[in-house]
Amino acid sequence: MLAILCLFSAISLTSLSHTVEEKVGQLLMVHFHGESANNDARALVQDVKVGGIIYYNWANGLTSPEQVRNLSAGLQGLTQTNRHPIPLFIGVDQEGGVVSRLKEGFTHFPGNRALGETQNPDLAESTALAMGKELAIVGINMNFAPVVDVNTNPNNPVIGERSFGDDPETVAAFGAKALLGYQQAGIIPTLKHYPGHGDAQVDSHKDLPIIDKTLAELEYVELLPFARLASSADVIMTAHLLVPALDPEKCSTLSEKTIAYLRNTLDFQGVIITDSLVMEGLLKSCVSVDEAAIQALNAGCDILLLGGRQLASGDGDLELSVSDIQHIHLALVNAVKEGCISEKRLDEAFERVLRLKEHSASDTLVKSSPLNSMSS
């Protein structure tokens, strides 16, 4: 199997001096259209200096392992001419089952419900390990998995079979093993979707779900997997939910109270990434994606995910262009310079991102080199 080598193993990333523009760029994970590192990618990596790219098969082809590996190598190569050549997080939603962006030439792995029904958590570890090895060999270093939502609502329109089950203990046990499998493969896993999407009655891509439970009920079910696994995870993704027991007014992604619970009560010290800020459930409470990004960063999120399509009813699928991302980047920079976002909050998020990149560099952040084979 092709060895995974780091870009900057000899550099202490956190020792570098960065401008506000560079710091803000590192907090953005974006998507672009192209099957190779094209001019749009160049603008995002070299001008905006984004910290991460998320792949979608409708945007990036993902037609073969060779194509994905060459795309990853090309994107990492673009960082080399930056003043600070910090490697990219390259992420994907490869959960297995119904949410699998990588299909052609890749193994079709079972989804979480199928794994949960085996009652054998070790299978979650072996599946994540095998999946992680396939991701690593094509230059993907972050997976937005495992899902640890507890699917207590059988009519849930957004989680369903993506969950390990309806029992929080089962979900926590399988989630723990999946984390271990990805980490053994040198992939950064992401627990999602905090504080728990399993009892939703509407799809947050289209509207804002309300999880109307007491804090005690949440801690017994939805929050239990996050409480159990927070100390083992490097990244946790927020959900766009209204959870009155945590914050009666603000969507979880934009809620300082909800993020503070994750930090202070569950003692999570890693990177918090938003679910996509173009989802309709979130945007119903914000006038623009710019404002959502500012609020999410102020609430305590560290990486702002700007990938994917906005499923806007009546308007078709909308998505952010390169110029939109440049505009959002500028809005965040101006918010820092005008004091709407404190430099302390910016530095806190920036340093968490760089610490994770530095910590993961020897295993996950790859250098440009040709793809030999998917197998040893």
Active-site residues: which are they?
A: 205, 275
Contacts of 225 (CB under 8 A, 6+ apart): 148, 150, 168, 171, 172, 175, 191, 196
CA 5 – CA 361 distance, rounded (Å): 8
Following CA atoms 21, 22, 27, 31 in sequence, which dihedral angle do they give, to the nearest 10 degrees? 90
For the chain, what is the largest distance between any 2 Cα atoms, rounded to a whole number of angstroms?
54
CA 278 – CA 294 distance, rounded (Å): 13
Residue 243's region, left for phi above 0, alpha for psi from -120 to 50, else beta, is: beta
Contact 33, 71 (CB under 8 A): no
Q: Could you tell me whether strands 99-100 and 94-96 are parallel, antiparallel, or unpaired per DSSP bridges?
A: antiparallel
Q: Could you tell me whether strands 52-54 and 28-30 are parallel, antiparallel, or unpaired per DSSP bridges?
A: parallel
CA 32 – CA 47 distance, rounded (Å): 14
